[in-house]
Structure 1
Amino acid sequence: DTVRLPNGKEGVREWIRHPGAAAVLPLLPDGNVILVRQYRHPIGKVTLEVPAGKLDAEGEDPLHCARRELSEETGYTAEQYDKLTTIATTVGFSNEYIHLYLARQLSSGRQHTDEDEFVNVVQMPLKEALHLVNTGEIIDAKTIISLMMAAPHCPIES
């Protein structure tokens, strides 16, 4: 896009149009969280993340997307979803917003990922996940924000 700059001159800004996404932090009754481990090509690393995915189309209900991604990536379904927040992921070059949810009252089932998705389900205490944020092992922004926002509302063992 061509934009007018504060000094009156014109500049060119390239940006990515994105339909948006939803992410969900599943919380088990014992205080464990469910994350997924997967390889991320753009950074060349395996990451530990909350289950998430793109909205199928602009205007899709983000909660519907969160439910779908939780089921596909982990096999779990949830009876209760609480909205944590909505974040703008990369305001300098994308219009992507991710809607973050906390899922409770979980039931396990079978994982059914997309054909090109290879994820491993990982269960751990919330306290351990927060420690992995502090040590830099968890680096994904949506996951860090989800964990930090959910922590005050979740049981954390000492």
Structure 2
Amino acid sequence: MTAPDFEDFLAPRPVLAHDLIHHGKIWDIVSEKVDLGEAGQVTRELMDHPGAVTVLALDDQERVLMIRQYRHPVQMELWELPAGLLDVPGENPVAAAQRELLEEADLRAAEWSLLAEWFNSPGGSNEALRCYLARGVSEVPEAERYQRGEEELNMPTRWVPLDEARDAVLAGAIHNPGAVIGILAAVAAKAAGWSTLRPADAPWPAHRNYR
């Protein structure tokens, strides 16, 4: 195995046993016995997660669309970007991002680019995420809007200048990881004249379902 100079790369180890500990509504908890070669065999418990996509929608005034949502595990209302799970079998990640922007924000976008990707907690979860930059946004006609319900009903929204959103992240006022990463990535990409953006359909080897 030849490692790239400065890049994460696939290097799977043999899984000797795989056991389901808990089957959840959205994700499972599993136990795997892994052969690490000279380091021996270890057992790891992890969250088996479908992954997710996040959308940083930027309007012509360079404002970011933010959505406030209650998150019970942390018992806080968080300012976030539109986002959703990759829980539709066979759905393209870009199509999932477009769907989430429509469902959560009543918006469409003419231009889509890949802004950032990451693992939320690689020490205990295989959850892979991508953040897309959506520009050329327009409102969906009222007759075509998604009828939201449950926790997504009546979520407050706000268009925030990109620099103001950056300052909120650096001040510790914003905690959602997708929002933190997406906002800082957008600021960095803007400073580089948007030259760091990748095509929305760029390969995603970090996600097991899209390799």
Q: How does 1:33-112 map to 2 (within 5 A)?
A: 33-57=64-88, 59-109=90-140, 110=142, 112=146
Of 24, 30, 34, the residue aligned with 1:3 is 34
> Are 2:158 and 1:122 equivalent residues in the alignment?
yes
Change (3 A) 1:145 1:113: farther
SS in structure 2 of the partner of residue 57 of structure 1: coil
Q: Post-superposition shift, 1:17?
A: 1.0
Unaligned runs of 5+ in 2: 1-31, 192-211
Unaligned runs of 5+ in 1: none
SS in structure 2 of the partner of residue 19 of structure 1: coil
Aligned positions, number: 154
Q: What whole-Å deviation, never above 9, does each CA across 1:124-153 have from its counterpart, x for those lacking one?
A: 111111111011111111111111111134
Change (3 A) 1:14 1:113: farther
Give 1:148's aligned residue. 184
SS in structure 2 of the partner of residue 15 of structure 1: strand
Higher radius of gyration, 1 or 2: 2
> Are 2:43 and 1:12 equivalent residues in the alignment?
yes
Which is bigger in relative contact order (C-alpha 8 A, separation at least 6)?
1
Check whether the contact 1:19–1:58 (CA below 8 A) recurs between aligned residues: no
Report the RMSD for the aligned CA atoms in angstroms.
1.9
Q: How does the TM-score come out when normalised to structure 2?
A: 0.67
SS in structure 1 of the partner of residue 151 of structure 2: coil
Of 33, 41, 52, the residue aligned with 1:21 is 52
SS in structure 2 of the partner of residue 128 of structure 1: helix
Q: What whole-Å deviation, never above 9, does each CA across 1:61-109 have from its counterpart, x for those lacking one?
A: 1101100111111111101011112211110111111111000000013
Runs of 4 or more above 6 Å deviation: none
The AA in structure 2 aligned to 1:53 is: G
The AA in structure 2 aligned to 1:45 is: M
The AA in structure 2 aligned to 1:132 is: A
The farther-off stretch of 56-65 and 90-99 is 56-65
SS in structure 1 of the partner of residue 94 of structure 2: helix
The whole-number CA distance in structure 2 between the counterparts of 1:123 and 1:103 is 14
Change (3 A) 1:136 1:101: same
